[in-house]
Amino acid sequence: MLDRSSRNQPPSADPLTAMLRGLRLDGVDYARYRMTEPWGLLFPAQVAARFHFVAERGCWLRTPDDDWVRLEPGDAVLLPRGAEHALASEPGACATQLGNCQFQSCCGEIAEARGGGEGEATVFFSASLDFNVDARHPVLCMMPELMWVHEMAVHEPGIPPLLSTMSCELALDRVGAGGILTRLADVVAAALIRSWVERGCGDAKGWIAAARDPDIGRVLAAVHLDPAKDWTVAALAQVMHASRSAFAERFAAVVGETPARYVAQVRMQQARQWLERDRLRIGIVARRLGYDSEASFSRAFKRVVGRPPSQFRAAALASTPADETATRTVAPPQQFIGT
């Protein structure tokens, strides 16, 4: 997991683990918040994952299910799909008047947001983290809306020392703190996901159950690890060591769709990554996936994704270059001043 060199590693006994080897989180936006009571911040829904680590005093989290739960100093949470949520000095603080955070430079390259009233200060670190797979990847779709460090730390003994280091970096205004914090957040988030997977993915069913099937799991892992390969039904059946008819019937029963449809979805997820993240030309993507022409690829892409690849290519070229995102700071969430 979290390693681009998966193709050079021996096959895993667990197909799902093999599929997750290439999963990586990239720190994109980050900031340190120093909020004084009373305060409240609404974090709108976003495509990127959201990570919070509380360093001082603690606060309250309004979950995506609208429940209020307490976060103590040292607590961290990950929202893999960036669902809307809120942080506040007390439950219900986000129901009052709107305001604005004031951002200022801190620790050289990291920004600090200040806001709230005249009371005690809560300090926390917040980061947006992009996965290196499409947002519609089955693994992301199966993850819970909210992951808690304190639930996973007992199975991940390396997490508490990482959180202690984060606390030290947040407390000291040192050069390079932003880069260190984002890397620590990456590692903590990755450990949370790994623990979730190794513990059986909670009560996740559907695709996760299919991936854990000894026979179908091998097929899914092979497709995800090399989506550009010409995956015919015969080739997939060979991976499962079954006849074409037996494989096709079993695959449809377990996964819920035909092998051809599933392969097409995975291939177009890869195509979106090449278009959006790597900013490759449409013709190059088409050739990588084995299409005879750019036109035939574009038709297939639109059939699966719903929009032509030219729209994703144009959006990627219009966005901030990838090498400039590492030093951006988070756009302020909506702030609410409690009473």
For 9-67, the pLDDT digits (tens) are 444 456 666 666 656 666 567 778 888 888 988 888 888 889 898 988 899 999 999 89
Tell the burial category of 70 from Cβ atoms under 10 Å away from its Cβ (0-12, 13-18, 19+): exposed
Cα gap 160→334, rounded to integer Å: 31
DSSP string over 228-265: TS---HHHHHHHHTS-HHHHHHHHHHHHSS-HHHHHHH
Pairing of strands 49-56, 76-79: antiparallel
Question: Could you check whether 6-204+327-336 and 213-307 share the same CATH topology?
Answer: no
Q: Please state the domain extents for the chain.
A: 6-204+327-336, 213-307
- Provide the whole-model pTM: 0.68
Task: Say what the pLDDT of residue 5 is.
Answer: 37
**Per-residue pLDDT reduced to its tens digit, 293-307:** 999 999 999 999 889
Q: How far apart are CA 230 and CA 236, in angstroms?
A: 10
Percentage of the chain lying above the pLDDT 70 cut: 71
pLDDT tens digit sequence for 225-241: 888 898 999 999 999 99
SS3 content of the chain, % helix, strand, coil (to 5): 45, 20, 35
Measure the CA–CA gap between 188 and 182, rounded to whole angstroms: 10
Closest CA to 234 of 254, 222, 248: 248
User: Looking at the domain that runs over 213-307, which CATH code has it been given?
Assistant: 1.10.10.60
Residue among 188, 267, 263 nearest 232 (CA) = 263
Please give the CATH number for the structural domain made up of 6-204+327-336.
Answer: 2.60.120.10
102-106 and 110-116: which strand pairing? Answer: antiparallel
The pLDDT profile of the chain, 339 residues, written as one tens digit per residue, is: 344 333 444 444 566 666 666 566 665 677 788 888 889 888 888 888 898 989 888 999 999 998 999 999 888 898 988 899 999 999 877 644 334 556 555 555 566 778 888 889 898 988 888 876 666 677 777 778 888 887 666 677 777 888 888 787 777 666 666 677 777 877 887 777 777 766 666 555 567 677 777 888 889 888 888 888 989 999 999 999 999 999 999 998 888 889 999 999 889 988 988 888 788 999 999 999 989 899 999 999 999 988 999 988 888 788 654 444 333 444 456 555 443
